[in-house]
Homo-oligomer: A and B are copies of this chain.
Amino acid sequence: MSEQNSTSTRPTALVVSAHSADFVWRAGGAIALHARKGYDVTIVCLSYGERGESAKLWKKDGCTMEHVKSERRKEAEAAASALGAADIQFFDIGDYPLGITEDAKFRLVDVMRKVQPKFILSHSLEDPYNTDHPAATRMTIECRMIAQAWGHNPGEKILGAPQVYLFEPHQTEQCGWKPDVLLDISEVWDRKYAAIQCMQGQEHLWEYYTRVGKQRGVQAKRNSGGQAGGKNVEYGEGYQSIFPRMISEL
């Protein structure tokens, strides 16, 4: 994995993932695509999903928490590498529920200021199945605010106003998630699928998220013109923006 260089002039992006596999299913295409475009993408995994998202490992005799964390870390690092991410950091704050403390917040603020991301990716605002997901998003939005404060660690370079994009939850309609962006990830699908295959503990989700990619691709084509000139998009990812965007042309 390449060294992140804060003096680089390369564009940057930040992904905040509640558990160590979330970034793969939900944002793997965006990570690979922007890496290919020359972005340094930093991934923060708040937890390993060691308690709540490692059923396969726990079902084996003699499994320990350290073993689970270690396995999950290896999978996540392999996936990040497959996607071409510049950096992946593990906060290890515990999952189910996430152990969000002031220290954890300030650590995320530090990352935001160091990375100075052009945009940030995180979870949906609601999720009745998994309250860690919206907790991570609330933390992200709060830390974005702190990172903008001149009086937090005075002298550091403050954060600008990066867009926060919410990636797709497992059951979108139950989570009040509505995408306003459909990203064409066709050219990097192979990398996303390679990353998906790193998730040995959750094989039952591989085809589920392959189908998600295809559906978003069909929708992307339709929304860009359909049969009357729409772009042929084989795989897509949907995102919901939090903030309005400043533009110079509609």
Contact = CB atoms under 8 A, between A and B. Distances in A.
Interface in A191-250: 207-208, 211-212, 214-215, 218-231, 233, 236, 238-239, 241-250
A1 interface: no
A235 to B, nearest CB: 12
Nearest to A138: B131
How many monomers of this protein are in the complex?
6
Given A52-B151, A173-B172, A181 B250 contact: yes
Contact of A174 (B163, B178, B226): B178
Contact of A173 (B55, B59, B178, B220): B178
Q: How large is the interface on A (under 10, 10 to 19, 20 to 34, 35 or more residues)?
A: 35 or more
Contact of A226 (B13, B141, B148): B148
Interface string A143-158: 0011011111010001
Interface stretch (A2-10, A30-38, A74-82, A84-92): A30-38
Contacts of A154: 58, 63
A149 B225 CA distance: 13
A226 B231 CA distance: 35
B119 A59 contact: no
Contacts of A51: 146, 149-152
A132 B144 CA distance: 12
A212 B97 CA distance: 31
Given A180-B180, A231-B246, 17 more contacts: A30-B250, A37-B249, A50-B151, A51-B150, A51-B151, A52-B145, A63-B154, A119-B250, A131-B145, A160-B229, A163-B250, A172-B173, A179-B244, A182-B244, A182-B247, A220-B246, A223-B246
30 contacts: A13-B250, A33-B248, A51-B149, A52-B149, A52-B150, A65-B151, A95-B149, A97-B105, A97-B142, A129-B222, A131-B142, A131-B145, A148-B226, A148-B228, A160-B228, A160-B230, A161-B222, A161-B225, A161-B230, A179-B244, A180-B244, A181-B245, A183-B248, A184-B247, A208-B214, A223-B243, A224-B246, A231-B246, A236-B246, A239-B250
Interface of A: 13, 30, 33-34, 37, 50-52, 54-55, 58-59, 63, 65, 68, 95-97, 105, 119, 128-132, 138, 141-142, 145-146, 148-152, 154, 158-161, 163-165, 170-174, 177-184, 207-208, 211-212, 214-215, 218-231, 233, 236, 238-239, 241-250
